[in-house]
Amino acid sequence: MYTVKYLIVAIFVALGVLLPIAALTIGRWLRPNKPTEDKATTYESGNEPIGEGQIRFNIRYYLYALMFVIFDVETVFLYPWAVAYNQLGLFALVEMCIFIVLLGVGLLYAWKKKVLQWTSI
Amino acid sequence: MLDLVGQPLTWTHTLIFAAYGVLLLLIILGFVTYAIYFERKVIGWMQGRYGPNRTGPFGLLQTVADVFKLLIKEDTIPRKADRPLFILAPVITFIPSFVVVATIPFTANLIHADLNVGLLYYVALSGISTIGMILGGWASNNKYALLGGMRSAAQMISYEVPLVISVIGVIMMTGTLNLHKIVEAQGDNFWNWNFLPQIVGFIVFMIAGVSELNRTPFDLPEAESELVAGYHVEYSGFRFAFFMLAEYVYVFAIASLTTVLFLGGWHAPFALLAFIPGIVWFLLKFSIIVFFFFWIRATMPRIRIDQLMGLGWKVLLPLALLNIFITAIYMGITA
């Protein structure tokens, strides 16, 4: 049973890998290839690029990544609970309430600390 | 056809599955080609323009010509780019977008990977595309691309949380992650479908879905007027085409998933209309959702980045969490 189901997934993965390879190979036969020095420069609105491309960026992106990890782990806990909710009953619901309230407090803390506000730094 | 999945594995079955996979891939490519055409046409009409009308009858061959143009374009990779990652990034973005479709049940009998963890599989795989976008932005070694990639990642992960939490109500009501069983649990009348008891979850899911697709009004990662093109600014030819392809395959996937989760999949809206084949109903609901995506693109302006993040974390996430308790109370009353 399981082998067959995941075989379909494996076929889809194989096709997903095959399509880019096939398309790019056919493209290689059809497209021109005349590289020049100017074509290989990094694009910067038509100017000569200044400095490195991999510049320093806003620290805020890391904060969002951290928040994401916290809430994504929450969903890992929520999914099995939701599947089994009908069998688990009130006790599990109260338990989940406590868990979500704790995370909600964390969200409120981040909110008050202006992590969620784009213009605070 | 579904009982094929339940039978022991033989080479014939493997070939049938492979043929089905190829067929679905061709259907999706056809869908993408004409979704782009209809998007331009519909938005053209909504804005009092004609839309594409020169290539072929009614401009029907416009996208075909565009794809062919991309195929014969020279492929330039910047000297400063990280070559292996640059080549890999569009492929990483594309593969999950196609693989998630494997688990979508289009009708009651059509072959699909009937996974017990179907919904989780969808959510987990669709997250991988974000990595491709960051990689593309980083490997280009370009300031615009890097900022676009970072914005993309921030937006995608911020809206993935409400998207994933908003479907928990559906899981609670059906008690399974299997997409086939989720559709079966919804009845043959439209008031039995999940979007009515799950109206909060449905709205959150739609808004977060549009944002996950990077479409207007949430198309900041590709904001043409601000970041040139975002993470794929250095890409040309077919490598660029794969980023666009992934985006439109996700339109297909999200519209199918919405139909399956909230709009009753292949079920007819009234029990007396059940004699019409399920695939017709599925395609009808699917098309309405795809049209909805085009419609809001023509109607809404792009929102600012601070509004975007504020909406995701301060409005949608609390609403999605609230929806879990509303569902629990609703189930307590009705049970």
pLDDT at B203: 93
Distances (CA, A) of A29 to A24, B63, B67, B74: 9, 21, 16, 11
For residue B301, what is the DSSP state? P
CB-CB neighbours of A78 under 10 Å: 22
Can you tell me the distance from the alpha carbon of A84 to that of A14, in angstroms, rounded to the nearest whole number? Answer: 34
Asked if B216 contacts B299 with a C-beta cutoff of 8 angstroms, the reply is no
Out of 1.10.150.120, 3.40.190.10, 1.20.58.1610, 3.90.550.10, select the CATH number for domain A1-113. 1.20.58.1610
The confidence score (pLDDT) of residue B307 equals: 85
Chain A residues in contact with B172 (beta carbon < 8 A): 82, 85-86
For chain A, helix, strand, coil in percent to 5 are 70, 0, 30
- B128-137 as b/e, with b when 16 or more CB fall inside 10 Å? ebbebbbbbb
Task: State how far residue B29 is from chain A, nearest Cα, in angstroms.
Answer: 11
**How far apart, in Å, are the Cα atoms of A115 and each of A6, A60, A61, B156?**
41, 8, 10, 17
Report the 10 Å Cβ neighbour count for A42: 20
Which chain B residues are within 8 Å of A35, Cβ to Cβ? 76
Are the beta carbons of B317 and B167 closer than 8 angstroms? no
**CA nearest B18 in A: which residue?**
A11
DSSP letter assigned to residue B262: T
ipTM (interface predicted TM): 0.87
**Counting every residue, how long is chain B?**
335
Tokens of B149: 């990639």
pTM to 2 decimal places? 0.90
CA dihedral B306, B310, B316, B322 (to 10 degrees): 180
Residues 6+ apart with CB under 8 A from B198: B169, B170, B173, B262, B323, B327
Half-sphere exposure for A43 (CA within 13 Å, toward CB): 18
Domain coordinates of chain A in residue numbers? 1-113
Please report which confidence band the pLDDT of residue A91 belongs to, taking 50, 70 and 90 as the band edges. Answer: confident
B140 interfaces chain A, CB cutoff of 8 Å = yes
From chain A, pick out residues whose CB is under 8 angstroms from the CB of B96: 16
Interface contact A11-B13, CB threshold 8 A: no
Contact B189, B270 (CB under 8 A): yes
Distance CA B29, CA A22 (A): 14
Cross-chain CB nearest to A27 (options B80, B154, B238): B238
Interface test with A, best of B238, B248, B316 (most A CBs within 10 A): B238
When CB atoms are compared, the residue of B99, B120, B321 closest to A9 is B99
Question: Which residue pairs, CB below 8 angstroms and at least 24 apart, start in A27-35?
Answer: A27/B71, A27/B72, A27/B75, A27/B237, A27/B238, A28/B75, A30/B71, A30/B72, A31/B71, A31/B72, A31/B73, A31/B74, A31/B75, A31/B237, A32/B72, A32/B74, A33/B74, A33/B75, A34/B74, A35/B76
Q: Are the Cβ atoms of A116 and B324 closer than 8 angstroms?
A: no
Interface touch B143/A3, C-beta < 8 Å: no
Kindly provide the b/e burial profile for residues A47-67, where b requires at least 16 CB atoms within 10 angstroms of the residue's own CB: eebeeebbeeeeebbebbeeb
Residues with Cβ within 8 Å of B80's Cβ and at least 6 positions away in sequence, in order, are A42, A53, B141
Mention every residue, 6+ apart, whose C-beta is less than 8 A from residue A115: A60, A63, A67
Find which of B121, B172, B331 to mutate to test the A interface (most A CBs within 10 Å of its CB): B172
Assigned token pair, B276: 């019409």
* B224 burial type by CB count under 10 A (0-12 exposed, 13-18 middle, 19+ buried): exposed
Which residue, B186, B167, B187, is CA-closest to B177? B167
Give the three-class secondary structure for B196. Answer: coil
Decide if A68 and B305 are in contact by the 8 Å CB cutoff: no
Residue A67 has pLDDT above 70, yes or no: yes
Asked if A42 lies within 8 A of B80 by C-beta distance, the reply is: yes
Per-residue pLDDT of chain B (335 residues; tens, 9 = 90+): 455 655 667 788 888 888 888 999 999 999 999 999 999 999 999 989 988 888 888 888 988 998 888 888 888 888 888 889 999 999 999 999 999 998 898 888 787 778 888 889 998 898 888 898 889 888 888 888 888 888 888 888 889 999 999 999 899 888 888 888 888 888 878 888 888 888 999 999 999 999 888 887 887 777 666 667 778 888 888 888 898 899 899 999 999 999 999 988 888 888 888 788 888 989 999 999 999 999 998 888 888 888 888 888 889 999 998 998 888 888 888 77
| Cβ atoms of residues B5 and B114 within 8 Å | yes
Minimal-distance CA residue of chain B relative to A2: B115
Would the CB atoms of A68 and B145 count as touching at under 8 Å? no
Chain B residue with Cα closest to A22: B238
State which residue of chain B sits closest to A24, comparing Cα positions: B238
Residue corresponding to tokens 């323009």: B49
Contacts of A83 (CB under 8 A, 6+ apart): B171, B175, B176, B177
Judge whether B255 is closer than 8 Å to chain A, CB to CB.
no
CA nearest A79 in B: which residue?
Answer: B168
pLDDT for residue A121 is more than 70: no
- The residue type of B320 is A
- Helices vs. strands in chain A: H and E counts, helices first: 4, 0
Interchain CB contact of B5 with A (< 8 Å): yes
* Minimal C-alpha gap between A16 and chain B (Å): 5
Give the pLDDT score at B229: 73
Which residues of A fall within a CB distance of 8 Å from B122? none
- Give the integer Cα–Cα distance in Å for B175 and B185: 10
Q: Checking phi first, is residue B44 left (phi over 0); if not, alpha (psi -120 to 50) or beta?
A: alpha
pLDDT value at position B1? Answer: 47
Flag if A26 and B71 touch (Cβ within 8 Å): yes
Here the tokens at position B80 are 């400063």
